Structure 1
């Protein structure tokens, strides 16, 4: 069977689909993965065919803004985000994928929830589609109005899309969020297929001491898109005061290590770490609340302290707190003292640790990518 996977060109949108795409290839399906050109090397290294489609995030925002000026007035930002994700990127993905679908003629298209353009191209071409999630669904009232743009574009194409959750396009939804944490309204309103969230990371080595560390290991990251040297520095200053712990910091691609300054001897700061390999060794994860890190920490079964910076991160932080899986600090609350205090409490709190182990057990019980890949032919009918 021919299967096209398609995502927006960012780590947080592409990586969650890779475990299922790999599983589908391993089961003998002919798999192509369509995303922006800067992910070609990663896709092809996994033995998957890459097709360049869509724009990278920076180019998409520039097109939506009509300017290379990075400074956008705060009151205009929600509208710009809505136009970027609801119009610019869907239209570009639809345009890029339409001729490819006509030529390659896949049996199934798996599009991630942030990429309705691929799903719309499939619908117009008469190809069955599945929508693949990348995390917990969030309250649309707290997000920029992306849906109306998607509905407008779908109308232009003559495609009927439900006004409730339009990003799904009415397709069945591969849900990588544990049901106990998922938004209950969303679960009630949509046809979901549970899929275990399996962290993916580029191959790479960890510091030798990580696997056999005797002291509690705290991991700090703000992810690949929302790095802030000021927030990282405050968190490092606080976490470095925790006696008897080791701290591993991943600065990410948006923060230079030099911007963090000197760090104590028991703190290791790196540009990047293979997070999927690291998480099972951690005792506490302090992070931005990105969906990949949040779900990965669920699977690792350890407490988390969330320092949300944007997008769905605030909703993820709310869910972590609401389900007793950790704590959060918002905005000006992120001081060295506050980070140290919350982290110290989470490292000692057996109730939170037990809750984290329970969510890890729930994740482990969800159907694996291999199990879901075995059912893909029935979804193509």
Structure 2
């Protein structure tokens, strides 16, 4: 079976798909990741075959589509549209030459669904973790029907419906905004690239350790957010580890005595040693913190990050500070609250346990196999039991 994985040039969109890609490869299937050059490099690091499509710079694309407030869903949808316009020729040519049996695409990537529809093969939409806000999903749908209609027709696509469509749902049940009959639940497996564990990570520390990260995309606002947050936490008796993109950027300057630049440390190495996480509200950072049962302070910047922050606060696992609320005093108070009030950790552990009971990627790989068989023979059922049901 040939599986085509498609994604926009954003690591936070690609990384959640790595676990299922590994599971499919381990089952003996051919996997090909198609994405702009930055993604092709990340796929190679993850041990996955890849090919670069289009000429897309993540910085340029985000700068062209982002609005100053970060809350314009149509501006965020513009990012997906622009990527599709620059990559469609390459992705569709790959589909014609490689002939996949199924396409696995993330919600912002819009050319993978075109391949599925043109070749009459199933489409699997692989979500990132926390569900997209309805407003952003609507903006994407509107964009496909308006802006991309000409692109579809140019490539001979007049019916956008794939032969079969299912959704891989990473979001734990208590954080879902909606339920879908098409959704196949899958346990979130943290992955954020390769890294070598530094020796100091396992050293004993008498102070609570706080991870501060503004995600995988080094936006200028992210660097500013790192600096402000780290300076604020200098007032607390904590150890601060600045991680992720920008953590060793020269513009950060000299860090306070209680902070260190950790560089790119995989979540599954760093977070087990931490007591709380301060981050930008990206789905990957949010889900990794939940997977490790950690309280969170969310500082959203753009797109779905604001809605993610609201969801986490509503669930009782996080505090948030919007753009106009960020000060040293408020940041310190929020982190003190997360560390002192046990309810945040208790609820985070509840969500961690929810994630642990969801089906593993290996189970969902068998669902993908059934989808392809169903498309070929029409007689294979699709579905996956929960871990509890499988045990019964």
Q: CA shift at 1:251, angstroms?
A: 5.8
Q: CA shift at 1:201, angstroms?
A: 2.5
State the alpha-carbon separation in 1 of the partners of residues 352 and 70 from structure 2. Answer: 40
Q: Number of residues paired by the alignment?
A: 363
The residue that corresponds to 1:172 in the other structure is: 166
Contact 2:128 2:170 in 1 (8 A): yes
State the SS of the aligned residue for 2:254: coil
Q: TM-score, normalised by structure 1?
A: 0.87
Contact 1:61 1:80 in 2 (8 A): no
2:294 paired with 1:302? yes
Contact 1:111 1:119 in 2 (8 A): yes
The residue that corresponds to 1:40 in the other structure is: 40
Matches within 5 A, 1:174-189: 174-184=168-178, 187-188=179-180
The residue that corresponds to 1:273 in the other structure is: 265
1:195 corresponds to which of 177, 186, 195? 186
State the SS of the aligned residue for 2:200: coil
197-206 or 50-59, which deviates more: 50-59
Q: CA shift at 1:335, angstroms?
A: 0.8
Q: CA shift at 1:279, angstroms?
A: 1.5
Provide Cα deviations, 1:105-141, integer angstroms capped at 9, x if missing partner: 1111111111121112221121211110012223333
State the SS of the aligned residue for 1:9: coil
List gaps (5 residues or longer) in structure 1: 162-167
Contact 1:109 1:127 in 2 (8 A): yes
List gaps (5 residues or longer) in structure 2: 375-392
* 1:327 to 1:371, Cα distance in 2 relative to 1, 3 A: same
2:204 paired with 1:213? yes
State the alpha-carbon separation in 2 of the partners of residues 170 and 151 from structure 1. Answer: 19
* 1:348 to 1:195, Cα distance in 2 relative to 1, 3 A: same
2:195 corresponds to which of 188, 201, 204? 204
State the alpha-carbon separation in 2 of the partners of residues 102 and 234 from structure 1. Answer: 49
State the SS of the aligned residue for 1:91: helix
2:81 paired with 1:95? no
State the alpha-carbon separation in 1 of the partners of residues 16 and 352 from structure 2. Answer: 17
Q: CA shift at 1:272, angstroms?
A: 2.8
* 1:47 to 1:61, Cα distance in 2 relative to 1, 3 A: closer
44-53 or 340-349, which deviates more: 44-53
Q: CA shift at 1:94, angstroms?
A: 3.1
The residue that corresponds to 1:13 in the other structure is: 13
State the alpha-carbon separation in 1 of the partners of residues 71 and 284 from structure 2. Answer: 28
The residue that corresponds to 2:121 in the other structure is: 127
Q: CA shift at 1:290, angstroms?
A: 0.4
State the SS of the aligned residue for 2:112: helix
State the alpha-carbon separation in 1 of the partners of residues 50 and 326 from structure 2. Answer: 41
Contact 1:286 1:304 in 2 (8 A): yes
1:82 corresponds to which of 72, 77, 96? 77
The residue that corresponds to 2:107 in the other structure is: 113
CA-atom RMSD in angstroms: 2.7
Q: CA shift at 1:76, angstroms?
A: 12
The residue that corresponds to 1:57 in the other structure is: 58
51-60 or 100-109, which deviates more: 51-60
Provide Cα deviations, 1:33-91, integer angstroms capped at 9, x if missing partner: 111122333323433221222434345468x77xxxx9x78799765543332x32223
* 1:336 to 1:75, Cα distance in 2 relative to 1, 3 A: closer
Contact 2:74 2:139 in 1 (8 A): yes
* 1:19 to 1:286, Cα distance in 2 relative to 1, 3 A: same
Q: CA shift at 1:231, angstroms?
A: 2.3
2:134 paired with 1:140? yes
Q: CA shift at 1:25, angstroms?
A: 0.6
State the alpha-carbon separation in 2 of the partners of residues 306 and 248 from structure 1. Answer: 16
Matches within 5 A, 1:276-291: 276-291=268-283
State the alpha-carbon separation in 1 of the partners of residues 62 and 327 from structure 2. Answer: 31
Contact 1:199 1:296 in 2 (8 A): yes
State the SS of the aligned residue for 2:245: coil
2:254 corresponds to which of 238, 262, 269? 262
State the alpha-carbon separation in 2 of the partners of residues 103 and 341 from structure 1. Answer: 57
